[in-house]
Chain A
Amino acid sequence: MSAVNTWNSTQHFWLIILGFCVAFVPRYLPLMLFTKRAIPEWFNEWMKFVPVSLFTALVVKDIFIDSATYQIIFTHFSEMIAAVIVVVIAYRTRSMAISVITGLIAVFLLSMFIA
Chain B
Amino acid sequence: MNKRRPNPKQVPDPNEPLWRSTLRVAMPLNLSYIPIGLACGILLHAAGFNTLLTGLVSILIFSGGAQFLIATMLTINSPLLSIVLMLFFLELRYALLSSSLSPYLKGQSNRFLFAFAISLNDENYAINYLKFATDKKWTGKEALMVEHYSLLFWAVSNVIGSLIGSALKIDLGVVNFALTALFLYMIVMQIKNRLTIVICLVSGVLAAVCMMLTKSTLGLVISTIIASLIGFFLETTLRKHLPASHWLWKLRSPGAKKSTVESESDAN
Contacts and interface: CB of A to CB of B under 8 A. Distances in A.
Contact of B231 (A22, A53, A88): A53
A20 B75 contact: no
Nearest to B176: A62
Interface residues of B, number: 121
Contact of B75 (A3, A56, A60): A3
A39 B99 CA distance: 7
Interface string B216-242: 110110011001111110011000000
Contacts of B95: 26-27, 29-30, 47
Give the dominant DSSP class at B's interface: helix
A57 B199 contact: no
B93 interface: yes
Interface string A34-67: 1100010011111111111111111111111101
Contacts of A94: 3-5, 189, 253
Given A19-B70, A87-B267, A79 B235 contact: no
A29 B102 CA distance: 11
B244 to A, nearest CB: 19
A60 B268 contact: yes
B152 interface: no
Interface in B69-117: 70, 72, 74-77, 80, 83-84, 87-88, 90-103, 105-108, 110, 113-114, 116-117
A2 B75 contact: yes
Given A31-B117, A45-B235, A57 B57 contact: no
A6 B75 CA distance: 9
Contact of A31 (B66, B99, B263): B99
A56 B198 CA distance: 11
Given A15-B84, A59-B180, A60-B204, A34 B102 contact: yes
A104 B177 contact: yes
A3 B181 CA distance: 22
Given A31-B105, A84-B264, A104-B39, A15 B190 contact: no
Contact of B184 (A57, A59, A95): A59
A24 interface: yes
A90 B184 contact: yes
A42 B122 CA distance: 22
A5 B74 contact: yes
Q: Which one of A44, A60, A61 has the highest number of Cβ atoms from chain B below 10 Å of its Cβ?
A: A60
A51 B190 contact: yes
Interface in B6-30: 28-29
Interface string A68-99: 10111000000110111011101111111101
B183 interface: yes
27 contacts: A5-B74, A11-B80, A12-B50, A19-B70, A26-B93, A27-B94, A29-B95, A31-B101, A33-B102, A35-B106, A39-B103, A43-B99, A45-B235, A54-B220, A56-B199, A58-B180, A60-B203, A62-B176, A62-B183, A63-B180, A91-B254, A96-B2, A96-B123, A97-B28, A97-B35, A100-B35, A108-B174
Given A26-B88, A99-B184, 10 more contacts: A1-B75, A22-B91, A26-B94, A28-B114, A49-B235, A50-B224, A52-B196, A97-B28, A97-B31, A100-B185
